[in-house]
Structure 1
Amino acid sequence: MSAPPRPAAGPAVPAAFLRRCAAWTMDMMVPLLAALGLCAGRIADGAARAAAAFDALAHAMARAMVDLLMADATPFDLARRWLDDPVQRTAITALSDAIAATVWPPLALAALLALAWFAAFEASAWQATPGKRALGLRVADTRGKRIGIARAALRHLAGALSWVTLNIGHLLALVPPRRQALHDRVAGTQVTQAPGTGGRLPAWAIAWLCLQVALAIVITAWLFLAAHAAMQQAFDALL
């Protein structure tokens, strides 16, 4: 690892919120992609199970809907039938188990890899992960000094509190003057921004954030269309 760059003249300032977001998402790509690669076989098996379970659920729901519509039932009767139908409960249980088997192993591995990634880099001479360093950020204690590996690990682990508070813990990074997120307050750290980095994000960082929003929209639309197609196929098979 090369020596860290010499800081620009002038004091560092609390890091801007979007700059922190861009840096964090770039850094998380490394452990996440590594975990997905290592768990590729498990993910493929779980995805096949989830697809089969979802098809079974769609067929069960379609059959219940057709039966009740033929009997001139009300929407309330339909909802009650869906809740009481043992076939649908079995299909829902199978779907939830398949999703858990697909999602949790890579997430758990990614969390362990991320702990090593963030703690090691933030305790290093860089005082920053590669993503933070690219955007002129560094992690220090409240006096501006370099933190050790134990505090860096505590900071990362305390990030779970920022997630379980429905991101309110992350939004605390918007509060002046120190702009500390909840996990920074727990660990006694702060994220600062080099004075020469300017107030605006670089164009490439803005493009990176926009790409994430676009991907989220595409994935949501794909899931909706896939569910619609499964229900349509189930109805076509019954009618």
Structure 2
Amino acid sequence: MIGCLIIHGFTGGPHEVDPLRVYLSERTDWTIEVPVLKGHGEELNLENASHEEWLREADEALRKLKEKCAKVYVIGFSMGGMIAAYLAAMHKIDKLVLLATARRYLSLKYLSYHIAEMIGDGFKGKINDNELFTQFKSKFGDVPIKANIEFMKLVNYTKQYLKDVKTPVFIAQGQKDEMVPFKAAYHLDEEIGSEHKEVVFFEQSDHLICLGDDSNVLNKMIYDFLVQKIEVNAPV
């Protein structure tokens, strides 16, 4: 039996990766798990959540899946990508997929530019028409400072394990992604220790890569990567 663990991003939930989950479910008989990390999901409650808990919950989900399945794939989106890479370093898994992975923090250039734009719309009385304001009000408004610090701690902690990842890996990055710096995919390619690495950039995708215009192509490429036979030389 094959198992597939999919890990969502910071302040997100299973909805961020659901099109991919559905695509894989319709084409396979795999056991697919998409756990909700503490404080995440449809209603955020991140005040008391910690990066240690997020890592532990993902680790437990993987262990349970490995108990049932002889072969296991791990897929991670954004912060979930760093968690997935950490799991691949700590456990024997068969393949790893990293989507818009937060190898660094969210882009300060992006945030500063759009926050300035948001303030400008506020002065013009158009604040409710500002897309970023709507996102902040519905999502980031529920995110305490402590949770953002925990996110940064998780990225800092997991980066050191990238070199220990040896499983074949597929790295996908949207070219319109302004949340995670564009060069993050290149850094992942350089730092991950795997012999087999595939890096693909998607022209029409922003940070929510599983929900973007390239999602159908992305889903097929992930499926093809997971089902193909990859010969990897055994370590000496």
Question: Which structure dedicates a bigger proportion of its chain to strand?
Answer: 2
Relative contact order higher in (CA < 8 Å, ≥ 6 apart): 1
Give the TM-score of the pair, scaled to structure 2. Answer: 0.25
Question: Which structure dedicates a bigger proportion of its chain to helix?
Answer: 1
